[in-house]
Amino acid sequence: MEADGAAVLLLRRLNSILDSDPLIDEVGFVHPTQLASLVGSQGGSLAGDVDCKLYCRDHKLGISTDVVVTLYREAKRAFFEAKKKYEAEEGTDSEEMEDDLIRFSRAVVLLSSDFGTAWNSRKMIVSKKGLLTMFMNELQLSELILSYVPKSDQAWSHRRWAIKMISGKSQTLQEILRKESELVEKIAERSKMNYRAWNHRGWLVSFMTREQVLTELNKSKSWAGLHVADNSSFHYRRRLLMRYLKNSCHENEKLPQGPSKEECHLWKEELNWNESLLKKYIGREALWLHRRFLSLCWIRHFSACHSPLPCFSENVTGGPDHFLDQELNLVTSCLVVPDNNFDDFEAQATHSATYTLWLAKQLPRTGGVEFAEKLRENNICSLVHKFCPNISFLEMIADANQSGTQGGN
């Protein structure tokens, strides 16, 4: 494809803006008239030849929407041309060709964030050079892109690649992990329930020390408490909690004696915190799902021990039966549906009733049957029929529990 003069000029301008301001932290695609008024009212570096199509001020880059396609096409053309040249002369070690590839691929990913081939060329050159500053630049570029495309799979993946590369080279890994975690929280604030972002944060957990896991549990608590519908943020806590348990399994040689006092305390605290959220925010599915996890782990790992657990002496709770009785009390209190504000309370009743049915099904066989019996005494099954008349699978499970059999595989 032939290069077109105006487009070449435009791409050159874009690259020179990006080169001259490495601290750009925002990119906006702006309507031409809006961009014109921005330039008119505030000055800023005028970066168009006749019309102003690019604008940069205070580290914010504006690109006129009417040139986005032209700019992208030219960036792609220049990128592929540079790639071809580089591949043809591989081994000649030409700095200039490498620079071209880095600059043109940067323009491509800015305009099309999931263009994998452009990210790959960057990986190739950066790993060949092996310079820490270059890896850090990759983190910066992908952060910039994630600021306006928070779900970009390629940008997240590129970060993981860069971090893995750095982890072998630098002593600053722990600091990077801390910053990554903060970055995800910042992005999650604007992009709700972003699976890719939270998955990235979860990926960091495997690099964390036991102390960092605890710090993260503390730090992520207030955010989770303010975003009670975000299942991903609670899943992140589950991952941290499991990591904490697993870590101690390795460290604690005397595992058969059961979990430590700290672990019991941590779990109990999470259960209590979850209960307070359940009562404060009515009808939130993510909160009830978090409780399923916490309770089942509690029953499996903490209350199933034969020897008395250190935490039980603190009058907090007793064995599994006592725990389940408490849960049943909690659920019964959630099954009251007032006439007003019906929807939320109906949801609360549904989630709480299904929570108990779910637990009954996961419990070891004898415990499950006993618990199912208690559910029947407390009319939970008929309440499920009442609140979820259209959920056929629940009816089947409730019926199975009603007849005292477990609906097994």
Nearer to other proteins, 21 or 114 (CB): 114
Closest among 329, 328, 390, 334 to 357, alpha carbons compared? 328
SS3 198: helix
Is position 344 an interface residue for other proteins (rule: CB under 8 A)?
Answer: no
Q: Are 380 and 324 in contact (CB under 8 A)?
A: no
Site for other proteins in 104-133 (CB under 8 A): 111-112, 114-117, 120, 123
Interacting residue with other proteins among 197, 324, 328, 397 (CB under 8 A): 397
**What is the nearest approach in angstroms of other proteins to the Cβ of residue 358?**
7
Task: Return the number of other C-beta atoms located less than 10 Å from residue 163's C-beta.
Answer: 21
Token pair belonging to 384: 């499920």
Binding mask 244-283 for other proteins (x = CB under 8 A): ----------------------------------------
Interacting residue with other proteins among 16, 199, 248, 252 (CB under 8 A): 199
Is position 313 an interface residue for other proteins (rule: CB under 8 A)?
Answer: no
- The rounded distance, in Å, linking the Cα atoms of 15 and 104 is 8
Beta strands in 188-300 (DSSP E): none
Nearer to other proteins, 55 or 234 (CB): 234
- The rounded distance, in Å, linking the Cα atoms of 116 and 168 is 24
Stretch of 169-177, 195-203, 317-325, 379-387 lying at the interface with other proteins (CB under 8 A)? 195-203
How many residues bind to other proteins according to rule CB under 8 A? 55
For 82, counting Cβ atoms within 10 Å of its Cβ (0-12 exposed, 13-18 middle, 19+ buried), the class is buried
Token pair belonging to 341: 């504000």
Is position 342 an interface residue for other proteins (rule: CB under 8 A)?
Answer: no
**What is the nearest approach in angstroms of other proteins to the Cβ of residue 167?**
13
DSSP code for 5: H
Binding mask 1-40 for other proteins (x = CB under 8 A): ----------------------------------------
Closest among 318, 349, 323, 347 to 336, alpha carbons compared? 349
Q: Are 92 and 78 in contact (CB under 8 A)?
A: no
Residue whose structure tokens are 């399923």: 292
Contact set with other proteins (CB under 8 A): 68-69, 72-73, 80, 111-112, 114-117, 120, 123, 157, 160-161, 164, 193, 195, 198-199, 202-203, 205-206, 229-232, 235, 239, 242-243, 284-286, 289, 292-293, 296-297, 354, 358, 361-362, 390-394, 396-397, 407-409
